[in-house]
Amino acid sequence: MRQAEEGNLEVVFTSDYKDEISTLGERFNYMIDAIKNLINLVHMEQKSKREAELEIFRQQIKPHFLYN
């Protein structure tokens, strides 16, 4: 958990037992996967937003050059 807290989202909990700690570890692994998916989603949304902003700027520039 300390590694994940420090930003290492590649850490995985493994256990050879089927007790409460291994159940907690499985939930931890699920949480890490969910965090990685959310980070990827945010990254894709930010990329899409930047592309949309660039397209708006392009559309604003086109009329300027057509009329000058």
40: Cβ–Cβ under 8 A, 6 or more apart, which residues? none
Residue 68 has pLDDT above 70, yes or no: no
Q: What per-residue confidence (pLDDT) applies to 36?
A: 96
Q: Give tens-digit pLDDT for 5-34.
A: 899 999 999 888 889 999 999 999 999 999
Residue 61 has pLDDT above 70, yes or no: yes
Does this model's pTM top 0.75? My answer is no
For residue 11, give both structure tokens: 């850490």
Q: How many helices (H) and strands (E) does the chain have?
A: 2, 0
Overall size of the chain counted in residues: 68
Which amino acid is residue 10, in one-letter code?
E
